[in-house]
A and B are shown apart, each in its own frame.
Chain A
Amino acid sequence: AQKVTQAQTEISVVEKEDVTLDCVYETRDTTYYLFWYKQPPSGELVFLIRRNSFDEQNEISGRYSWNFQKSTSSFNFTITASQVVDSAVYFCALSEVEGGANNLFFGTGTRLTVIP
């Protein structure tokens, strides 16, 4: 079973629209970390956010916001008023840390295209 599921393979939106990228994860650990990374056309992944499993507060950073809900094992990412520069592949990831685990699982990514 996939540890991290990003069901949306590709999304296209028109500039200035809001868009939400879904991420569902699976773990039995009570302590874990969730991440979002952006991979622009240039190729290198860029860190966006990390949340630990004990912090369910939503976070906002400019046009970006994240909704972490343990009840549904989801960590969704919303871009408000999308811009062409937001076009990229976005990866959600899970790190399990209990029992000495050194695991980091990435989802398959969601390719976002923002059309001008």
Chain B
Amino acid sequence: DAGVIQSPRHEVTEMGQEVTLRCKPISGHNSLFWYRQTMMRGLELLIYFNNNVPIDDSGMPEDRFSAKMPNASFSTLKIQPSEPRDSAVYFCASGLGALYNEQFFGPGTRLTVL
């Protein structure tokens, strides 16, 4: 079975550009999570969805960040406009049920904003 799929794996963009990160969760999972990992701040939960509905977005750093889950098999994390401090590895994870259950992580998208 395929794991969590994220695209692109690497993204380099210039400040001010819009960036869209994509995630396909494991089939049958009903929870999806977006994380950001940086050297300075470590691993942070940005937002999570349950049954395609955003449950908690308190981790989203600014209004420049938005996430959607239009259906059970696809989610996007958008940054508009991007800034150099957004450079990080963004992980998507999926699971069954609540936040405190086991999560399966994707390989991450390494974002560099110049």
Residues of A participating in the B interface, judged by any CB pair closer than 8 Å: 33, 37, 42-47, 50, 91, 95, 97, 102-104, 106-109
The reply to whether B99 and A95 contact each other, CB–CB distance below 8 Å, is yes
Chain A CB within 8 A of B7 CB: no
Q: How many residues of B contact A (CB 8 A)?
A: 23
Residues facing A in B68-87 (CB within 8 A) are none
Set of chain B residues within 8 Å of A91, measured between Cβ atoms = 43
Residues of B participating in the A interface, judged by any CB pair closer than 8 Å: 3-4, 42-45, 48, 55-56, 89, 91, 93, 98-108
B interface majority secondary structure: strand
Set of chain B residues within 8 Å of A50, measured between Cβ atoms = 100-102
The reply to whether A47 and B107 contact each other, CB–CB distance below 8 Å, is no
A37 to B37 alpha-carbon distance, docked (Å)? 14
In the complex, the 7 A-B pairs of residues with the closest C-beta atoms, listed nearest first: A95-B100, A102-B56, A106-B43, A45-B105, A33-B100, A44-B105, A47-B102
A109 to B4 alpha-carbon distance, docked (Å)? 22
A100 to B45 alpha-carbon distance, docked (Å)? 17
A102 to B4 alpha-carbon distance, docked (Å)? 22
Set of chain B residues within 8 Å of A109, measured between Cβ atoms = 42-43
A97 to B55 alpha-carbon distance, docked (Å)? 13
The reply to whether A44 and B108 contact each other, CB–CB distance below 8 Å, is yes
5 more contacts with CB within 8 A, not counting A46-B105, A47-B102, A50-B102, are A44-B4, A45-B43, A45-B103, A95-B99, A102-B56
CB closest chain-B residue, reference A6: B42
The reply to whether A44 and B98 contact each other, CB–CB distance below 8 Å, is no
A95 to B97 alpha-carbon distance, docked (Å)? 14
A47 to B48 alpha-carbon distance, docked (Å)? 18
A86 to B48 alpha-carbon distance, docked (Å)? 30
A67 to B42 alpha-carbon distance, docked (Å)? 24
A37 to B106 alpha-carbon distance, docked (Å)? 13
